[in-house]
Amino acid sequence: MPTRLLIEQFDPVRPKPGGIDTCIRGLVKFAPEDEIIRIAGVDAIGDKPLGKWQEYEIGGRTFQFMALTRLDHANLTRRIPHSVRLAQGLRKYLPKADADIVQTHRVNVGDVALRHFRGVPHVQFMHSSGDANLKLGSVSFFRRARGFYRFLERRVVKHSRAVVIFSRDGAERLQAFSDNVHFSPTWYDPTEFFPAERESDIKRRVLWACRIEPAKNPELALDAFARTPEDFHLTVAGSGTLEARMRERAAELGLTDRVDFRGAVPKGSVGNLMREHDLLLMSSRFEGFSRSIVEALGTGLPVATTPGGEPNGLVVEGSNGARAAEAENPAQLADAIVRAAELSAADAATSVRDLSAAIIVPNLLSK
């Protein structure tokens, strides 16, 4: 059976907010039975030996995991890039690739893997258009080294056996460098994200579920919500560097009684949280192919979004959601919230029935 080695700042027992962590868990859970998965990652809580393979389980699927370094992979204020420490552990503990395929999820890690495991087929996953690392709100070190990022990106794309990118625009741009670039939508886990038994007659419960970081534009979410009718209520599920400022802004806007800050919600509870709500608000400046949106639609929540929050055409006005025409316009986003509240939960769920993990993951792992 083929063995696939994934290299990423991933800890199997400490989920990290963000699409890459959820993606890897889905790949493990829904991988074909004839695929052996190994993951070289990090020890985020200090309970794992470094450089030793151990067995873990996700969703009933057993896999081998090796911690290459100890670091808090959720700490975005780090001084040394996590990828640098991951690369150091790779050189120390994995001098050879005991695998048929090496897979990475960041281009800087991909470049390290290509150099370290010369001759081993490499698959690169990219979770945004590639521009996300360079835009306003990014916490990537590459926002200060744009030219270097583009150099790494071109090198990895040209030398990988396949590149899977969750952005239609990004795929079109990178296909100029290689015919092996493949666009893919992201997926949802149907065992966790499914509609509530009964659809609300009046939809007023809005969910904003993001890391509270600049790229997610949390103040725009509040400025827009302040313009909705007073019987609308907002739940903020997440934490981050802008959480204090978001709470202050809610107070400034007089929204204290209409906004509930839940903090970070465990991944296994997100599906239940979505079923407590009627629609999803996405205020992001940019996304690749937002997993939160796919999961919300799978749970029957229509989506109100900015242009950058859902750039792939999945959210269709009047069908499964509503769009603001301009990126930073709170009045337009407020109108989108009200329009989305009139849409059917059943139509929202139907719109992503082909994006189930059971359909998407085996296709991706055939690359």
pLDDT in tens, 1-24: 799 999 999 999 998 877 899 999
pLDDT > 80? residue 74: no
**Domain count across the chain:** 2
pLDDT > 50? residue 144: yes
For residue 136, name the pLDDT band (cuts at 50, 70, 90): very low
For residue 145, name the pLDDT band (cuts at 50, 70, 90): low
pLDDT of residue 142: 58
In a domain, 75, yes or no: yes
Round to whole Å and give the CA distance between 283 and 224: 9
**Top-confidence residue, 162 or 80:** 162
In a domain, 196, yes or no: no
In a domain, 195, yes or no: no
CATH of the domain at 10: 3.40.50.2000
Candidates 281, 278, 224; CA nearest to 249 is 224
Q: Are residues 240 and 337 in the same domain?
A: yes
pLDDT of residue 84: 86
pLDDT of residue 148: 83
Q: Are residues 124 and 265 in the same domain?
A: no
Q: Are residues 172 and 211 in the same domain?
A: no
What mean pLDDT comes out for the span 84-90?
Answer: 90
Which helix (H) or strand (E) segment is 102 a member of? strand 101-104
Question: 59-68, 91-100, 205-214, 328-337: which range is least confident on average?
Answer: 91-100
pLDDT of residue 128: 79
Q: Are residues 213 and 177 in the same domain?
A: no
What mean pLDDT comes out for the span 312-338?
Answer: 97
How far, rounded to the nearest angstrom, does the alpha carbon of residue 115 sit from its chain's CA centroid?
27
pLDDT > 90? residue 212: yes
Q: Are residues 180 and 211 in the same domain?
A: no
Strands 181-183, 162-165: pairing is parallel
Round to whole Å and give the CA distance between 113 and 289: 25
**Which residue intervals of the chain are DSSP H helices?**
19-30, 82-93, 107-116, 146-159, 168-174, 218-225, 243-252, 270-275, 291-298, 330-340, 345-350, 357-364
In a domain, 197, yes or no: no
Q: Are residues 77 and 145 in the same domain?
A: yes
Q: Are residues 160 and 210 in the same domain?
A: no
In a domain, 193, yes or no: no
Average pLDDT over the chain, rounded to an integer: 92
pLDDT of residue 331: 98
pLDDT tens digits, one per residue of 222-279 = 999 999 999 999 999 999 999 999 999 999 999 999 999 999 998 889 999 999 999 9
For residue 137, name the pLDDT band (cuts at 50, 70, 90): very low
Q: Are residues 266 and 334 in the same domain?
A: yes
What mean pLDDT comes out for the span 23-33?
Answer: 95
What mean pLDDT comes out for the span 85-103?
Answer: 91
Range of the domain at 80: 3-187+357-364
Which helix (H) or strand (E) segment is 208 a member of? strand 205-209
Q: Are residues 210 and 313 in the same domain?
A: yes
